């Protein structure tokens, strides 16, 4: 590419500039289309994720498949789209979500997960039961009593097209490095 340049200093400098620009372009493309790094802010996903955890989001996960119940996903924060909410999907389009005896009930079956055993105390401002619209998802924080999620009208059911990606791995702190389930 730079074979016609005779001056070795200029040739070397141009080669370095080319490599740096190429690396930046590849990094930007990777960030835009493959992965994104984000930090957990708040305590709504405890005990699964903690305040300050650094996560890698898989942006390709929903290009070839749809989000699934149980996935931990990131989507734009309603008041500041440059920030993300991180929540767990508990219901998908067509599902009926209700609260009975202070527990979530999905399609008539009580939600049996490790995060829903204490009675719900957090207030909500939507009327149950809710039928989730097609292409949308009902999301909750794992800390059920300390989460702003689909029970709040400002969040509501999340459009699958708005999801940034699925949480893939926690990279910080190193003591908890690994895949997030």
Would residue 154 show up in a list of annotated catalytic residues for this protein?
A: no
Would residue 87 show up in a list of annotated catalytic residues for this protein?
A: yes
pLDDT in tens, 136-181: 999 999 998 888 899 988 899 999 989 988 998 898 888 888 788 7
Cα dihedral 45, 46, 50, 51 sign: positive
**Active-site residue (options: 11, 50, 61, 87):** 87
Both tokens of 176, joined, read 């908890």
Those residues whose C-beta lies under 8 Å from the C-beta of residue 135, and which sit 6 or more positions away, are: 93, 159, 160, 161
Is domain 35-179 in CATH 2.10.109.10, yes or no? Answer: yes
**Active-site residue (options: 44, 61, 147, 150):** 44
**3-state SS assignment for residue 109:** strand
Residue-by-residue pLDDT tens, the chain, 181 positions: 667 777 778 777 878 887 787 777 776 665 656 668 888 888 989 888 999 998 888 877 777 788 999 999 999 888 888 888 999 999 999 999 998 888 889 999 998 877 766 778 767 888 899 999 999 999 999 998 888 899 988 899 999 989 988 998 898 888 888 788 7
Q: How far apart are CA 170 and CA 65, in angstroms?
A: 22
pLDDT value at residue 61: 77
The domain limits of the chain are: 1-33, 35-179
Both tokens of 133, joined, read 């619209």
Q: How far apart are CA 157 and CA 9, in angstroms?
A: 59
Q: How far apart are CA 157 and CA 89, in angstroms?
A: 10
pLDDT value at residue 1: 67
pLDDT value at residue 145: 86
Q: How far apart are CA 95 and CA 6, in angstroms?
A: 69
């Amino acid at each position: 590419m730079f074979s016609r340049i005779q001056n070795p200093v200029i040739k070397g400098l141009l080669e370095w500039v080319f490599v740096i620009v190429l690396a930046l372009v590849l990094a930007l493309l990777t960030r835009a289309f493959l992965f994104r790094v984000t930090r957990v802010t708040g305590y709504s996903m405890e005990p699964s994720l903690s305040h300050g955890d650094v996560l890698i989001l898989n942006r390709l996960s929903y290009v070839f498949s749809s989000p699934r119940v149980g996935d931990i996903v990131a989507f734009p924060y309603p008041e500041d789209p440059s920030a993300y909410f991180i929540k767990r999907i508990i219901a998908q389009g067509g599902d009926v979500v209700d609260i009975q005896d202070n527990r979530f009930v999905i399609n008539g079956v009580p939600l049996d997960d490790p995060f829903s055993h204490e009675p719900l105390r957090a207030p909500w401002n939507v009327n149950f039961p809710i039928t989730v619209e097609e292409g949308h998802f009902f999301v909750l924080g794992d800390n059920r009593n300390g989460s702003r999620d689909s029970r709040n009208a400002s969040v509501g059911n999340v459009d699958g097209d708005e999801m940034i990606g699925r949480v893939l791995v926690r990279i910080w702190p190193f003591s908890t490095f690994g895949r997030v389930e």
